[in-house]
Amino acid sequence: MTSMELNDLQALGQILQQRLQLEFQQMVPFKVRCAFKEGTLVILAQHPIDVVPDPQQTFRVLQQTLQAELTEYTLPVRLYLRVGGSQQPYNWHSFMLEPAVVSMPTGMAMGEAGNEDTNFENPFALGEAPDLHNSWKEMLAASSESMADDSSDEEWVFGQRLNAGARANSEEQQIYERGETDNLSDETPSVQVKSWRPSLPLIVGGVSVSMAVFLGSFYALTRPCVVGACAEITAAQRLNQDSATTLDQAKNKQEVLLAKQQLIEAQNILAVIPWWSSEHEKAQKLIAVYQADSDRLDQVIQGLEKANLAAMKSQAPPHELSEWLEMQQLWNEAIAVFKQVPEDSNVYQLAQRKLPDYQLNLAMVNQRVATEQKGNTLLATAKETVEVAKARQGVAQSLDDLQSVRSTWQTAFSSLNQIPQGTTAYQPAQQLLKSSQPQLIAVRDRSFEEQVAANTYQQSLVLAQKAQNSQGINQWSQAVSNWRNAIASLKRIPSGTFHHGKAQPLINSYTVALQQAQDRFQLAMRMQQTSQDLNRTCSGTPQICNYTITSNGIKVRVTPAYANTLKQTAIFAKAKGDYNAQIKVVNHVLTVGEALEAISDNARLPLEVYGPNGAAIQVHTP
């Protein structure tokens, strides 16, 4: 075989890719590309980082497909497995592709020898095993950029026309060495591989049998790390170092997964070293170490997943208390995982970088939990208090009852106003505040009105007491004023208040008391006038009379001095025969009598006039 056309390589890559997809039932989205350089057919199979196919199964499918398709070619083949985003493959397998053997022992497939168990890790490395990284750099340098990451929007292609024979031209060789590739979309037309007809005569069956026998004879010596330097251990150690470097710079789960994948790749490389190799024991020890590191990474990945889940759940608050508690548990579990990482672990530095952030996030979530609990408690308390306020407001029968209702509403509002923003209880609290506001205003206004009514009622009682006190000391004018004010206060009590009903009977009784006080006041005024009139009438030299005034009447007693003066004057006038003087004495007595009767009429009190000896000398009824 001197060359392969570009279309042939692309078609072959499509066939291999379809065969892998069929084998893995679409669970592993493989991309396969082919190249031909320096007489070697190079196959690169790439898959995403989050899907890890079995390398042996992958290599087996590729080898069997190549043997089925390229039935008439004899050439070395090298297979590579690579993770999307990685610049280097993590596993490889090489074998010699030969025409089908005419006669072969039963149970022996192409590439097998004797009792070999068809291990596809690296079964046909002739002579000294090639260095994995150097081989990769030499064979695939031209396509490392175009096949860097299958997550990009561009498809990578590894299928230039790379001629190793006389027909290779310089332009095509330069394209390969520059790493330039042809774009290949996801909808690459299906290309049927042309029949791979040999350009050389069919190798006779005897030569094939001889080759199989020859390969089987040297199989044991050609296994990895049996003869010469052990490239697999070197490659595995490099991958382990790459994993450590990745972890040193890791910031997220994907980078930790990449580090784990590198450890898995290292273990897969070491697993192909046979038991009869002198490096087998060392390889097994390294596998154990890498497996332990990988197990630790599994724990760290679980911690990262819990942290990522907690962070995702915390987005777009507010959240229910149960959700905050779930986040709290996730952060606690993530922190517990990272705290358990020993200092000699390959992820210790990563754990130390993550712990402060996780602990800070946990503290914030703890605060959220406390705030949410506070909000829920306050809302529940407020709702209960609102129901109590409504019940009390419906049966309130006094000012004290209303004041208790108002106090209950204020307690509910205080609880609602304390609910923090950013909690699930905040919006229900605001709605409850809005719906309850009219009831609080109503009970506040009613309480104010009842307070005014109570004060007015109490004031009327005080005024009535003052009126009674004034009556007790015959201060009838003050009593009348107090009774009038008391009645006016009672009439100012609003209807519908608790004290309005109490005020109506008092208004009636106070009106009667006012009338009586007015009567007594008028009597007192008349008696005062009567006293003044009597005082003017009874005054003189000598004193004409003395008097007493009661509600039953007026009693006047002529003083002995006055009576004696009248008597002496009359005797003297008679003795002298002074008729005029006698008339004046009589007229004076009559004038006094008439004045007393007039005073009795004005006072509307009966009059009784007595002489010095106590005998009644005049009686008058108004």
577 located within any domain? yes
Q: Best-predicted range by mean pLDDT among 85-89, 184-188, 413-417, 446-450?
A: 413-417
pLDDT of 111 reads 34
Band of residue 91 on the pLDDT scale cut at 50, 70, 90: confident
**Please, what is the average pLDDT of the chain?**
79
Write the burial class of residue 203 (CB in 10 Å: 0-12 exposed, 13-18 middle, 19+ buried): middle
Same domain for 127 and 214? yes
Q: Does 525 share its domain with 544?
A: no
Q: Which of 20-29, 178-187, 424-433 has the highest mean pLDDT?
A: 424-433
* pLDDT tens profile 139-155: 444 444 434 344 333 33
Tokens of 167: 């027909």
State the pLDDT at residue 167.
33
pLDDT confidence of residue 588: 87
Same domain for 544 and 508: no
Distances (CA, A) of 205 to 102, 104, 115, 212: 5, 9, 22, 11
Residue-wise pLDDT tens digits, 267-312: 999 999 998 888 899 999 999 999 988 888 888 899 999 999 999 9
* 290 assigned to some structural domain: no
**Nearest alpha-carbon partner for 463 in 442, 441, 439, 490:** 490
Flag whether 306 is in a domain: no
Q: Quick: pLDDT tens for 311-338.
A: 999 999 999 999 999 999 999 999 999 9
Helix axes 348-395, 280-313, angle to 10 degrees: 20
Residue 188 pLDDT exceeds 60: no
- Give per-residue pLDDT as tens, 516-564: 898 888 878 888 888 889 999 998 888 999 999 888 889 999 999 998 9
Q: Is the pLDDT confidence value at 160 over 50?
A: no
Confidence check: pLDDT of 115 > 80: no
Kindly tell me the sign of the dihedral angle through the C-alpha atoms of 351, 352, 355, 360: negative
Q: Provide, rounded to the nearest whole percent, the portion of the chain with pLDDT above 70.
A: 79
382-393 mean pLDDT: 92
| Residue 20 domain-assigned (yes or no) | yes
CB-based contact 68:170 (threshold 8 Å) = no
Structural domain count of the chain? 3
Non-local CB neighbours of 374 within 8 Å, separated by 6+ positions = 419, 420, 423
Cis bond before residue 612 (omega within 30° of 0): no
Q: Are residues 518 and 548 in the same domain?
A: no
- The answer on 127 and 107 residing in a single domain is yes
102 and 153 part of one domain: yes
Confidence (pLDDT) at 520: 84
pLDDT 10s digits, 98-113: 875 543 333 333 333 3
Sheet holding 75-83, edge to edge: 31-37, 40-47, 75-83, 91-97
Which structural domain, as residue segments, surrounds residue 61? Answer: 6-222
- Strand residue runs (E) in 169-264: none
CA distance 339 to 355: 8
Of 67, 193, 159, nearest to 120 (Cα)?
67
- Of 192, 222, 252, the residue at which a domain comes to its end is 222
Q: Is residue 61 part of a domain?
A: yes
Which of 415-422's residues contact partners 24+ apart within 8 Å by CB, and which partners?
415/378, 415/379, 415/381, 415/382, 415/385, 416/378, 416/379, 416/382, 418/378, 419/374, 419/375, 419/378, 419/379, 419/382, 420/371, 420/374, 420/375, 422/317, 422/318, 422/371
Cβ neighbours for 311, distance < 8 A, ≥ 6 positions apart: 361
Q: Is residue 296 part of a domain?
A: no
Q: Are residues 520 and 555 in the same domain?
A: no
User: What is the distance between the alpha carbons of residues 402 and 339, in angstroms, rounded to a whole number?
Assistant: 60
Q: 278: exposed, middle or buried (C-beta count within 10 Å: 0-12, 13-18, 19+)?
A: exposed
Question: For the chain, what percent of residues have pLDDT higher than 90?
Answer: 35
Type of residue numbered 589 = V
Position with higher pLDDT, 221 vs 481: 481
CA–CA gap between residue 514 and residue 505 (Å, rounded): 14
581 and 605 within one domain: yes
In this predicted structure, what is the pLDDT of residue 502?
86
pTM: 0.49
Q: What is the per-residue pLDDT across 565-595, written as a single tens digit (0 to 9) for each?
A: 888 888 888 888 888 888 888 888 889 999 9
Query: What pLDDT, on the 0 to 100 scale, is given for residue 116?
Result: 35
CA distance 593 to 616: 13
Domain boundary among 478, 494, 529: 529
Helix%, strand%, coil% for the chain, nearest 5: 60, 10, 30
pLDDT at 8: 81
Q: Is residue 474 part of a domain?
A: yes
Of 222, 253, 283, which one is at a domain's C-terminal end? 222
Amino acid sitting at position 106: T
What is the pLDDT confidence band of residue 418, given thresholds at 50, 70 and 90?
A: very high
Provide the pLDDT for residue 5. Answer: 60
CATH classification of the domain holding 499:
1.20.58
Same domain (yes/no): 56, 190: yes
For 165-182, the pLDDT digits (tens) are: 323 333 333 333 333 333
Please indicate, yes or no, whether residues 570 and 513 belong to a single structural domain of this protein: no
Cα 219 from Cα 487, distance rounded (Å): 129
522 and 546 in a single domain? The answer is no
Q: Are residues 435 and 575 in the same domain?
A: no
- The residue among 158, 196, 199, 201 whose CA lies nearest residue 176 is 158
Q: Give the HSE-up count for residue 137: Cα atoms under 13 Å, Cβ half-sphere.
A: 5
pLDDT at residue 606, rounded to an integer: 93
pLDDT at 212: 52
Beta strands, E only, 425-537:
none
**Phi, psi angles (nearest 5°) of residue 607:** -120, 135
- How does residue 210 score in pLDDT terms, banded at 50, 70 and 90? low
Specify if 56 maps to a domain: yes
